Amino acid sequence: MSIKQISVFLENRPGTLHKMTSVLAEHSVDMRAMSLAETKDFGIARIIVDDVIEATNVLKEADFVASITPVLAYEIPDEPGGLNKILGCFTDTRVNVEYMYAFLGGKEKNHACMIFRVADTKTAEAALAGKGLKSMTQEDIQSI
């Protein structure tokens, strides 16, 4: 099961990222994870939040371009080889990872939460379920 990530287009200039996080803070939106990719002129902030709808609405009201993207979230052991196990499943089933990022603080102690954007979500989920791995839900993210 996928969760929802918000992708926010940002101009690459001083203060833009701060403005985005200020809007979220003013509306009590709690960010669980964030990744920032940039080029010379713009960037894309990818964020996982406790309330996707509220966050998307307040960002748009503040004139940010924001969209919701489905991504996979998995808790993996925070130990050597934890990530390698999942990536091996993707390789075995020929699923391409478009991007990924991590954050600590999952429900299980000593685990990291990995966010994956993959080309084929259904195949990826089936492969990981076949290895006994369970995806995180939007409710899991909200309760962290």
- Could you tell me the residue ranges of all domains in the chain? 3-70, 71-143
Average pLDDT over residues 21-50: 93
Structure tokens that stand for 97 in this block: 């990872």
Torsion sign over Cα 102, 104, 106, 108: positive
Give percent of the chain with pLDDT exceeding 70. Answer: 97
Average pLDDT over residues 24-45: 92
As a whole number of angstroms, the distance between CA 93 and CA 110 comes to 27
Report yes or no: 101 and 35 within 8 Å, Cβ to Cβ: yes
Structure tokens that stand for 64 in this block: 């940010």
Question: Is it true that 3-70 and 71-143 share their CATH fold?
Answer: yes
pLDDT over 60 at 23, yes or no: yes
Instruction: Say what the pLDDT of residue 84 is.
Output: 92
As a whole number of angstroms, the distance between CA 118 and CA 104 comes to 21
Q: Amino acid identity, residue 136? A: M
The three-state secondary structure class of 107 is coil
**Sequence-ordered alpha helix ranges (H) in 3-94:** 16-26, 52-61, 82-92
Of 23-37, 46-60, 129-143, the one with minimum mean pLDDT is 129-143
pLDDT, tens only, 67-120: 999 999 998 888 888 889 889 989 999 999 999 998 876 555 677 889 999 988
Identify the band that residue 21 occupies on the pLDDT scale cut at 50, 70 and 90.
Answer: very high
Place of tokens 């979220």: 24
Q: Which CATH architecture has domain 3-70?
A: 2-Layer Sandwich (3.30)
- 9 DSSP 8-state letter: E
Give percent of the chain with pLDDT exceeding 90. Answer: 58
Instruction: Say what the pLDDT of residue 142 is.
Output: 77
Which of the four CATH numbers 3.40.190.10, 3.30.2130.10, 3.20.20.70, 3.90.1720.10 does domain 71-143 have?
A: 3.30.2130.10
Q: Please name the residues in contact with 34: beta carbons below 8 A apart, sequence gap of 6 or more.
A: 45, 46, 47, 48
